[in-house]
Amino acid sequence: MANKQPEDLMSSRYSRQVVLDKIGPLGQEKLAESKVLIIGCGALGTNSANLLVRAGVGVIKIVDRDIIELNNLQRQILFDEEDVGQAKAVTAARKLQKINSEIEIQYLIKDINSRNIEEVIAGFDLVLDATDNIPTRMLINDVCVKHSIPWIYAGVLQTNGMVLTILPDGPCLRCLLPEIPPPGAMQTCETAGILNAIPYIIASIESVEAIKILLKKDIERRLIIYDVWDHRFDLIEIEKSDNCECCVSRDFKYLNEENKEIVAGLCANSVQIIPPADRVIDLRKIAVNLEKSVSNMIATEFILKFRAEGKDFTIFKDGRAIIKGTGDEGVGKALYSRYLGL
Ligand SMILES: [Zn+2]
């Protein structure tokens, strides 16, 4: 076979999906004109970005506050050993640009919060959730409903995961989950573990739904749940709640000042995290969940202390935490979500 010229290679990059009747040449053009924001660059973010970049979405922006750790390599497809210690968003963007130099890849190393999220999502056609915590998803939900941008919720834990496409007229995430559960009520990948195949599958489903939205095809409105261990697949109808505060009353409370998470640096080497509202949490229950993943744990009814990732955590009954070993607010919040599931 004769060697192909570079121009031929470029023009044939998308040939296998252009020939697919569900996409075709017009669909490919539409993808090239689309802008997708991916919030979070862990297992879901790296996998969905990888697929959408290869599919030829015109502009993709990756937002993440974390740095790459060795334990990420088990499932986060864009990173290798040399990347440990680097910021996720920029490292992913560099890899993605090597995969496809024809599209625009943007990145932002930032903690997403109520102060900056409206500016970050402006101008995008679609937002993909690849975060690891409910408060950020509630913010994404508020801001996307407010600004009429579709978004796709995705979550993974242990051997299962779920995907829900949310259109601005609802049903929205708050129809399904009206309030943020208290810290420690939900398990996290740090405490419950994760099999590396499940984020690949869930991110693949998320990217297919993303392409369907961008091409204005019929989308799946049901909640998709898949367990890769038992191969259990469920599709669940989600009803729009008549009194949903978000998609019906348009009360975007997670974007409001008084509900935002407060993070205060204490000194150079510790941060204090104060969750959005006063709440009482069950410290002993959290201690049971954390048992296998942390050390030096002391749990009483009023206080929980433990050591993880070289940091000393002290958690109080109202959800407040002091983390010693970092003076960086973003790192403190990331550690808090990882171990407290908020
Ligand atoms: Zn709703």
Q: Is 41 a catalytic residue?
A: no
Q: What is the distance in A from the centroid of ligand 1 to the CA of 249?
A: 9
Q: How far is CA 298 from the centre of its chain?
A: 31
pLDDT, the chain, mean = 89
pLDDT of the residue at 50: 98
Could you read off the pLDDT of 39-77 as tens digits, one per residue? 999 999 999 999 999 999 999 999 998 889 999 999 999
| pLDDT value at residue 260 | 54
> What structural domains and CATH numbers belong to the chain?
33-236 (3.40.50.720), 261-340 (3.30.310)
What pLDDT is recorded for position 140?
97
| Cα(137)–Cα(117) distance, integer angstroms | 11
Q: What percent of the chain has pLDDT over 70?
A: 92
Enumerate residues 6+ apart whose C-beta is below 8 A from 133.
337, 341, 342
Cα 149 to ligand 1 centre (Å): 14
Cβ atoms of 41 and 17 closer than 8 Å: no
pLDDT, tens digit, 9 for 90 and up, residues 244-302: 999 999 999 998 865 555 566 666 688 888 776 656 788 888 898 898 889 999 988 77
- pLDDT tens per residue, range 296-340: 999 887 789 999 999 999 888 878 888 999 888 888 888 988 888
Measured between alpha carbons, how far is residue 333 from residues 62, 171, 209 in Å?
19, 29, 30
The overall longest dimension of the chain from CA atoms, in Å, is 74
226 vs 87: which has the higher pLDDT: 226
pLDDT of residue 1: 40
pLDDT category at 2 given cuts 50, 70, 90 is very low
Q: Which of 144, 172, 189, 244 is catalytic?
A: 189
Using alpha carbons only, give the angle 310, 314, 315 rounded to the nearest 5 degrees: 130
CA of 168 to the centre of ligand 1 (A): 9
* pLDDT number for residue 34: 98
Ligand 1: centre distance to CA 143 (Å) = 12
Q: What is the pLDDT of residue 142?
A: 97
Give the residue ranges of DSSP H helices in 56-196: 88-99, 117-121, 134-146, 173-176, 189-192
Residue 155 Cα to ligand 1 middle (Å): 18
DSSP β-bridge partners for residue 313: 306, 323
Check residue 106 and give its pLDDT. Answer: 98
How far away, in angstroms, is 295 Cα from ligand 1 center? Answer: 40
Q: List, as one string, the DSSP characters of 226-263.
A: EETTTTEEEEE--PPPTT-TTTTT---GGGSGGGS-EE
Residue 7 — very low, low, confident or very high, per pLDDT cuts 50/70/90? very low
Segment 93-105 shows an average pLDDT of 97
Looking at residue 267, what is its pLDDT? Answer: 65
- pLDDT of amino acid 132: 87
190-194: average pLDDT: 85
Q: What is residue 8's predicted lDDT score, i.e. its pLDDT?
A: 46
